[in-house]
Chains A and B, each alone.
Chain A
Amino acid sequence: MTVNTGRITTMTALLGLGALALTSCGSGDGSGDAGAAEPADSETTESEAAESETTDSDTTDSDTTETEGGEDAASGSLTIWADANRAEVLTDVAEDFESDTGITVEIVQQDFEEIRDQFVSQVPTGEGPDIAVGAHDWLGVLVNNGVVAPVELGDAAAEFEEIAVDAWTYEGQTYGLPYSIENIALLRNTELAPEAPADFEEMIQMGEEAGTEYPFLVGLDPNESDPYHLYPFQTSFGAPVFGTAEDGSYDPSQLSMAEAGGEEFAGWLAEQGEAGVLNLNIDGDLALESFNDGNSPFFLTGPWNVTGAQDAGIDVAVDPIPAAGDQDAQPFAGVQGFFLSSQSENVLAASNFLINYVGTAEVQTALYETGGRAPALTESFEQALSEDEIVAGFGEVGAEAVPMPAIPEMGAVWDDWGSSQAAIIKGDGDPVELWQKMSQDISSAID
Chain B
Amino acid sequence: MRPLTTTRTEDRTADRRRARRTAETAGIGWKLLLLKITVLGLLNAVCVYAAMVLFFNERWLIGTLVVVSGALLTWIYFQRGALPAKYLAPGVVFLLIFQVFVIFYSGYVAFTNYGTGHNSTKDHAIHAIMLQTQDRVPDSPTYQLTVIERSGELGFAVTTEDGEVLLGSAEAPLEAAPGAVVQDGRVIEVPDHEVLSFAELVDRQQELTSLSVPLSEDPNAGALRTQDGQRAYVYTSRFVYDESADTLTNTASGEIYTDGGEGAFVTPDGAEVMPGWRVNVGLENFVRAVTEESIRGPLLYVTAWTFGFAFLSVATTFVMGLFLAVVFNDARMKSRKYYRLVMILPYAFPGFLSALVWAGMMNQEFGFINNVLFGGASIPWLSDPWLAKLSILIVNLWLGFPYMFLVCTGALQSIPEELTEAAQMDGARPFQAFRQIKFPLLLVSIAPLLISSFAFNFNNFNLVYMLTGGGPRDIEAGINVGSTDILISMVYKVAFVGSQSDYGLASAFSILIFFIVGTISVIAFRRTRALEELN
Chain A residues in the interface with B (C-beta under 8 A): 1, 4-5, 7-8, 11, 14, 17, 20-31, 63-64, 66-68, 72-76, 101-103, 116, 120-121, 123-124, 138, 140-141, 143-152, 154-155, 171-173, 222-224, 279, 281-283, 285-286, 342-343, 345-349, 351-352, 355-356, 408-416, 419-420, 423, 426, 428-429, 434, 437, 440-441, 445
Task: Please determine whether A120 and B119 come into contact, CB atoms closer than 8 angstroms.
Answer: yes
Q: How far is the CA of A428 from the CA of B383 in the complex (A)?
A: 12
Q: Is the CB of A411 within 8 A of B497?
A: yes
Task: Using CB atoms, name the residue of chain A closest to B118.
Answer: A145
Given the complex of chains A and B, what is the CA–CA distance between A420 and B471 in angstroms?
A: 13
- Residues of chain A within 8 A (CB-CB) of B201 are 66, 74, 348
Find chain A residues with CB under 8 A from B129 CB: 146
CB distance from A341 to the nearest CB of B (A): 10
Q: With A76-B202, A102-B199, A342-B131 as given contacts, are A4 and B359 in contact (CB-CB < 8 Å)?
A: yes
Asked if B228 lies at the interface with its beta carbon under 8 angstroms from chain A, I say: yes
Whether the Cβ atoms of A408 and B499 lie closer than 8 Å is yes
CA distance A172 to B208 in the complex (A): 24
- How far apart sit A196 and B134, CA to CA, in the bound complex (Å)? 48
Contact with A along B86-126 (1 / 0, CB 8 A): 00000000000000000001001000001011011100110
Min distance, Cβ A50 to any Cβ of chain B, angstroms: 17
Within the complex, the shortest CB–CB distance from B348 to chain A, in Å, comes to 19
Per-position binary interface string of chain B over residues 180-202, scored 1 when its CB falls under 8 Å from any chain A CB and 0 otherwise: 00000000000000000111111
Interface range on chain B: under 10, 10 to 19, 20 to 34, or 35 or more? 35 or more
Chain B: minimal CB distance from A262 (Å): 16
Residues in A neighbouring B356, C-beta threshold 8 A: 1, 4-5, 8
Residues of B within 8 A of A63 (CB): 230
Check B209 against A410 for contact (C-beta < 8 Å): no
Among residues of B, the one whose C-beta sits closest to the C-beta of A155 is B142
Tell yes or no: B132 within 8 A of A by CB.
Answer: yes
A355-B228 in contact given A21-B124, A223-B471, A434-B475 (Cβ < 8 Å): yes
A282 to B127, CA, bound (A): 48
Which chain A residues border B278 with CB–CB below 8 Å?
A: 20, 24
- Contact yes or no, B465 A24, CB < 8 A: no
B493 (CB) vs chain A CBs: closest residue: A415
Chain A residue nearest to B199 (CB atoms) is A74
Residues A14 and B496 in contact in the complex (CB < 8 Å), given A21-B121, A347-B205? yes
| Interchain CB contact under 8 A, B57 and A31 | yes
A24 and B121 within 8 A (CB): yes
Quick check: A1 and B360 within 8 Å, CB to CB?
yes
Contact of B198 among A68, A148, A416 (CB under 8 A): A68
CA distance A352 to B142 in the complex (A): 16
**Told that A222-B383, A345-B205 touch, could you supply 4 new A-B pairs with CB distance under 8 A?**
A21-B120, A63-B230, A145-B119, A445-B497
Q: Report chain A residues within 8 Å CB of B171.
A: none
CB <8 Å contact, B58 and A27: yes
Decide: A437 and B227 in contact? CB cutoff 8 A: no
- Give complex CA distance A224, B470 in Å: 11
| Residue numbers in A under 8 Å from B119 (CB-CB) | 20-21, 120-121, 124, 145-147
Q: What would be 23 A-B contacts, judged by CB atoms less than 8 Å apart?
A: A1-B356, A26-B62, A67-B197, A67-B198, A75-B199, A120-B116, A138-B499, A143-B132, A144-B116, A145-B119, A145-B120, A146-B119, A146-B275, A223-B482, A224-B469, A281-B363, A343-B127, A347-B205, A410-B499, A411-B499, A411-B500, A412-B480, A441-B478
Check if B206 is an interface residue, CB within 8 A of chain A: yes
Contact of B228 (CB < 8 Å), options: A22, A72, A356 = A356
C-alpha spacing A7/B464, complex, angstroms: 11
* Contact in complex: B469, A7 (CB < 8 Å): yes
B59 at the interface (CB under 8 A from A): yes
| A75 vs B199: C-alpha distance when bound (angstroms) | 7
Complex Cα spacing A102 to B201, Å: 12
B124 touching A146 by the CB < 8 A rule?
A: yes
- Chain A residues with CB under 8 A of B301: none
Across-interface contacts of A140 in B (CB, < 8 A)? 499
Which residues on A sit within 8 Å (CB–CB) of B205? 76, 345-349
A342 and B197 in contact, given A66-B230, A146-B275, A356-B228 (Cβ under 8 angstroms):
no
Are A348 and B120 in contact (CB-based, < 8 A)? Answer: no
Contact indicator B202/A414 (Cβ below 8 Å): no
When distances are taken between beta carbons in the complex, the residues of chain A under 8 Å from B478 are 437, 440-441
- Interface contact B480-A415, CB-CB below 8 Å: yes
Is A429 in contact with B275, judged by CB distance below 8 angstroms?
no
Q: Is the CB of A348 within 8 A of B202?
A: yes
A355 and B228 alpha carbons, distance in the complex (Å)? 8
Residues on B with beta carbons closer than 8 Å to the beta carbon of A74:
198-203
CA distance A277 to B456 in the complex (A): 42
Contacts of B364 on A, CB cut-off 8 Å?
A: 222, 281
